[in-house]
Structure 1
Amino acid sequence: MMEENGGTRFVLYRKDRSEITRGKDLLRGYRLSSTAPTRRVVAACCNSPLFLEFKGGHWLSLYSSLWPEGQAPKPEIRTVTGDRGADVVLDNAIPSGTWQTMGFYGKLLTAWIAMGFKVPNIEIKEEAVI
């Protein structure tokens, strides 16, 4: 899941355009604390990570490794790059930085407006704090 530069590649989808069609009962959520705003969701049958979800977020961050080799959508932006270690040097193949991040948040807001400011809930039967 983690790439050579220490990052994890995600593909973001609006929740209202995402659907779990099979195996919903096999999903398990994990939080780093009881108050953590994020949960990681895995398929319990094979322990495969599926997505990361932010509490109150209208999108899902799907792990790009779910797609067969070469079929995941191409990355458009890097975010949260300020958290990387000083020894991690990013190439210029994918844009990152303040203006790109502002544009990204603008796209998120535009999508949320298009959704009528709704935040669809993804019901997960089992959740644990790790």
Structure 2
Amino acid sequence: MQSLPSAPPVLEPNGGTRFILYRKDRVRFLEGAHLLKAFRLEPESSTRRVLAACCNTPIFLEFQNGHWLSLYGCLWPAGTLPRLELRTMTSDLPADRARALPDDVPNSKTQSVSFFVKLLGAWIAMGFRSPKVTGVSGEIQV
């Protein structure tokens, strides 16, 4: 996606993508929702990446049956990005990049138990609901 015209970079220098997870019931699009378009890696995929079609800015990644949205870190202005708490799926990085990760936070090769506990806690707090994200109109082909 970051190779699209005017798109901001989403990959960090280490090759990972920074996400900030939010409960779906706590995310609202106040303006420009009509510009949101979905992109799927496979046509039948239940996972979609959503970007603003006007500028190709990635907005979020959604597991449609999940109760959270993974918002792209590139959305936050400099100095306002929430504190990094953990890295997951570091096994997807080439070995040399994975070895070079700082040890400032846990660097899990897969999703950790604590990661799933946090997701479960949020889902319990939501009454086991998985709200639908509305406003995404159409898909783009890359």
Q: Which residue of 2 aligns with 1:118?
A: 129
Q: Which residue of 2 aligns with 1:14?
A: 23
Deviations 1:24-70 (A, max 9, x none): 11100000112223111111111111111112111111111111101
Moved over 6 A (4+): none
Superposition deviation, residue 94 in structure 1: 1.8
More divergent stretch after superposition (119-128 vs 97-106): 97-106
Structure that is richer in strand per residue: 1
How does the TM-score come out when normalised to structure 2?
0.85
Structure 2 spans left out of the alignment, 5+ residues: 1-9
Question: Could you tell me how far apart the structure 1 residues matched to 2:139 and 2:18 are?
Answer: 24
Give the alignment partner of residue 105 of structure 1, picking from 108, 111, 116: 116
Deviations 1:58-83 (A, max 9, x none): 11111111111010101101011111
Count the aligned residue pairs: 130
Percentage identity across paired residues of the two chains = 52
How does the TM-score come out when normalised to structure 1?
0.92
Answer whether contact 2:91 2:109 (CA < 8 A) is retained. Answer: no
Superposition deviation, residue 99 in structure 1: 9.9
| Corresponding position: 1:46 with 2:55 | yes
Q: Which residue of 1 aligns with 2:4?
A: none
Answer whether contact 2:89 2:109 (CA < 8 A) is retained. Answer: no
